[in-house]
Amino acid sequence: MDYHKHAAEFSERGFTILPGFYTEAEMAELKTQLLDAAERRKSECVLDKGGMLFFENMYRYSDHVRSFISDQRIVDVLNHLFVPDTWCRWDQVVFKHPGGAAFPWHQDNSYNELLDTHLQFWVGLTEMNEENGGLWVAPGSHKLGHLPHHREGTHAVCDHEVKDAQFVPTKVGDVICFSSLMLHHTKENRSDKDRIAYVVEYMSLQHYDHYVEPPFFITSRNGQRVGRFEDSYPGRSRLSASRMRHSAHEYRKRAGSLAKRVARVFG
């Protein structure tokens, strides 16, 4: 694999495609394991958005999935495209059923509200094309930083006008790596079959996510596979200055809001 080429693409465009990264046999086994875990958790972990089903945190319930997401092949990609020290903050299986609705343009940071960027590892469990609602991206949009979004129901919708959108077709076993700040969306599934993707989010061990509770699944250190749960990681105990400034800003904002409410009641 030409890591230099993919790293350059990722840096410039915000995404890169790894064709044939997995065999069809590997994808068939992963699909079986994910569907089994999803079936066992159907009552507790499904979010339906207009014909789209999301099963989250699959790695916490499957040895096979944990082994898959910490495989040295992925670690090598992370080491060249992202950082050598990583943990998995979240993963999900996404089913877009026939007739499944479009998913608006957004940055993933608009959903998780994180300040730090992370890498999205998008795996095609089925072919993804324009007919069945595959992935559209806005190349280079990750360079714009955090963009404003508004809410439409449960969706976060970016207010930025998207120009020069590009469709990214994939076959079974292809991988798309993209920045969490890159604008992307999917259109409706006009086919008669499910479109299924598996997405893993990798963060730097130096970056903190206050939504994720221990234990934390460490995927790599120094560019080498770790693949185990641990009680903590550097970013959790040493918040970045940006995170601390953000927390202070939020505290002041909430305190100001509270003061205004108090003034209305007692003023």
Contact (Cβ atoms closer than 8 angstroms) between residue 158 and residue 148? yes
Mean pLDDT of 52-74: 94
pLDDT of res. 52: 83
**What confidence score (pLDDT) does residue 39 get?**
80
pLDDT band at 246 (very low <50, low <70, confident <90, very high): low
Q: Which residue has the tokens 């108090």?
A: 262
pLDDT at 51: 80
Listed range (11-15, 39-43, 133-137, 248-252) with the worst mean pLDDT? 248-252
Alpha-carbon distances, residue 246 vs 66, 114, 206, 222 (angstroms): 32, 10, 16, 29
pLDDT of residue 47: 63
pLDDT above 90: residue 238: no
What is the distance between the alpha carbons of residues 57 and 91, in angstroms, rounded to a whole number? 5
- Residue 44 pLDDT > 80: no
> 3-class DSSP state for residue 119?
strand
Q: Report the C-alpha dihedral over residues 173, 191, 43, 88, rounded to 10 degrees.
A: 30
The predicted model gives 29-51 an average pLDDT of 78
Does residue 234 carry a pLDDT above 60? yes
Tell me how long the chain is. 267
**Looking at residue 53, what is its pLDDT?**
84
The single-letter code of the amino acid at 50 is: G
Task: With beta carbons less than 8 A apart as the criterion, state whether 95 and 194 touch.
Answer: yes
Give the separation between CA 70 and CA 80, rounded to whole angstroms.
Answer: 15
| Residue keyed to tokens 């998913």 | 103
Whole-angstrom CA distances from 184 to 59, 96, 166, 187 are 24, 16, 9, 10
**Measured distance CA(108)–CA(180) in Å, rounded:** 5
Q: Tell which residue, 248, 213, 254, has the closest CA to residue 231.
A: 213
In Å, how far are 26, 215, 236, 237 from 228, measured between CA atoms? Answer: 21, 9, 17, 19
Distance CA 263, CA 197 (A): 51
pLDDT tens digits for range 16-28: 999 999 999 999 9
pLDDT-based confidence at residue 153 (cuts at 50, 70, 90):
confident
Whole-number mean pLDDT of the chain?
88
pLDDT, position 110: 94
Q: How far apart are CA 186 and CA 21, in angstroms?
A: 22
What is this structure's pTM? 0.87
Domain 3-232: which topology? Jelly Rolls (2.60.120)
What is the pLDDT, as a whole number, of residue 154?
A: 83
- Residue pair 40/71 in contact (Cβ under 8 Å)? The answer is no
Predicted local distance difference test score (pLDDT) of residue 50? 73
Q: pLDDT for 214-226, tens place per residue?
A: 999 999 999 999 9
Summarised one tens digit per residue, pLDDT across range 159-208 is: 999 989 999 999 999 999 999 999 999 999 999 999 999 999 999 999 99
Task: Give residue-wise pLDDT tens across range 76-108.
Answer: 999 999 999 999 999 999 999 999 989 999 999
First to last CA, the chain: 68
- Which residues neighbour 251 within 8 Å (Cβ) at sequence distance 6 or greater? none
Determine the pLDDT at residue 184: 97
Tokens of 87: 């943990």
